Each structure stands twice: as C-alpha cells, then as structure tokens.
C-alpha cells in the first residue's frame, strides 16, 4: 500500500448494496471526473452487477477498492492524507446501523470509522429517511416502508461529528460539490 501523501487529496466514495438512486449516484461520481476513488461493500459489488454495470468499465475511470480482506487495508490511506472527504452513497440501512453503533467490520464501515478518527468529513446519503419512499429495483419501481429502527438510526447519524447526512439526491449533489469546491480551493 502506498503510504506517501497524495496531492491533491481525493474523495473516497463508498457504494453499498442499495439500489436507491444508484444510476444517478454513478453519474454524479463521473461528473467529478478524476477526483474520486470507489470503495465497494460486498453487497455493493453484487448490486452493481444486478443493475447492469460492469466493474471493469468503472475501473477504467476510477481506482476501485473491493471488500476482500478482514482488516480493510485501504483504510491506512486515510492516515496519510490521500482523502479529503468520505461519501457513502447510497447507504443501506445495514451500513447506517453499523456506523451508528460504531461497528467497523466491512470496508465501508471501516472507512467511515477511520475517517472519523482522522477528522476527515463524511457525507452519508441515507436511503431510509421517511416512512415511505419509492425506489428503483432491478425489475422496476417498488414501494419501501423503512422500519422505525431504520428511521431512528438515520437521525442518530446526524448527531455524529464531521458527518453530514443527506436524504435526497439534490442535497447529495450539493453537499458533494461543496466538498469538492472547498478542497479545490485548498489545493
């Protein structure tokens, strides 16, 4: 693993196993061309394929880290200034719950925890923010009724230090672009 500081620092974008605004999220990543490395949860990698995306094509445009080691070695990069921001988008209820309870047993929950310990800001696009929403499943649009525990976890995450929780696509776009602009100005 490279240990030297990388300049300018980049955005670390975690894709979890949620299909919520998945296509729009990938478009947003590509619109920030050259600035984003992608971190996939195991489920994120599967969901990517289920929505018809080819990991090889994504790899041609971005550095991609897969969740294939127990200790999540890429988190070391956060200690050497490689990343200015962590974005978890879309974030499953599973990943949000683990983050809220301080669990870091996957690549994505690890980068959230380590970013926190390095005081690197995070933006989390939590899918479960209202008692009902529509989402695009591989077979078409479906209705989702998040449980009370899912809604409560989203609220609890808002109280975390250096963490911005967004719950719609427009807010995700503006939060991410604001982080990119801030870092461009510092570069």
What is the C-alpha to C-alpha distance for residues 68 and 107, in angstroms, rounded to an integer? 8
The full 3-state SS of 31-95, as one line of letters, equals HCCCCEEEEECHHHHHHHHHCCCCHHHHHHHCCEECCCCCCCHHHHHHHHCCEEEEEEEEECHHH
| Residue 12, helix vs strand vs coil | strand
Question: Residue number with the shortest CB distance to ligand FMN?
Answer: 17
Q: Rounded to the nearest 5°, which phi and psi values hold at 39?
A: -115, 120
The reply to whether 104 sits near ligand FMN by the rule CB under 6 A is: no
Instruction: Work out whether strand 140-144 and strand 64-65 pair parallel, antiparallel, or are unpaired.
Output: unpaired
Question: Contact between 138 and ligand FMN (CB under 6 A)?
Answer: yes
Which bin fits 172, alpha (ψ -120 to 50), beta or left (φ > 0)? alpha
Closest contact distance (angstroms) between CB of 20 and ligand FMN is: 4
If the CB atoms of residues 9 and 89 are measured against ligand FMN, the closer one turns out to be: 89
Cβ-based nearer residue to ligand FMN, 34 or 140? 140
Shorter beta-carbon distance to ligand FMN: residue 9 or 107: 107
Q: Which of residues 12-41 bind ligand FMN (CB under 6 A)?
A: 16-20, 41
Helix (H) or strand (E) holding 136, with range, is strand 133-137
Q: Does 129 bind ligand FMN (CB under 6 A)?
A: no
Find the binder of ligand FMN among 127, 165, 175, 180 (CB under 6 A): 127
Binding positions for ligand FMN, 62-91, rule CB under 6 A:
none
Stretch that binds ligand FMN, among 11-19, 78-86, 113-121, 166-174 (CB under 6 A): 11-19
Contact residues for ligand FMN, defined by CB under 6 A: 16-20, 41, 43-44, 47, 50, 92-95, 106, 127, 135, 137-138
């Amino acid at each position: 693993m490279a240990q030297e500081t990388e300049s300018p620092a980049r955005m670390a974008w975690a894709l979890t196993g949620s299909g919520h605004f998945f296509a729009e999220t990938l478009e947003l990543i590509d619109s920030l061309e050259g600035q984003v490395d992608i971190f996939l949860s195991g489920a994120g990698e599967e969901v990517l394929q289920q929505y018809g995306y080819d990991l090889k094509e994504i790899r041609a445009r971005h550095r991609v880290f897969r969740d294939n080691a127990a200790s999540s070695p890429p988190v070391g990069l956060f200690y050497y200034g490689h990343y200015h921001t962590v974005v978890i988008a879309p974030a499953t209820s599973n990943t949000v719950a683990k983050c809220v309870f301080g669990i870091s047993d996957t690549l994505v929950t690890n980068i959230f925890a380590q970013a926190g310990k390095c005081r690197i800001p995070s933006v989390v696009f939590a899918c479960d923010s209202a008692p009902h929403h529509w989402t695009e499943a591989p077979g078409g649009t479906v209705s989702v009724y998040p449980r009370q525990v899912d809604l409560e976890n989203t609220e609890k995450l808002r109280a975390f230090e250096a963490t911005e929780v967004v719950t719609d696509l427009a807010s995700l776009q503006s939060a991410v672009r604001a982080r990119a602009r801030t870092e461009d100005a510092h570069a």
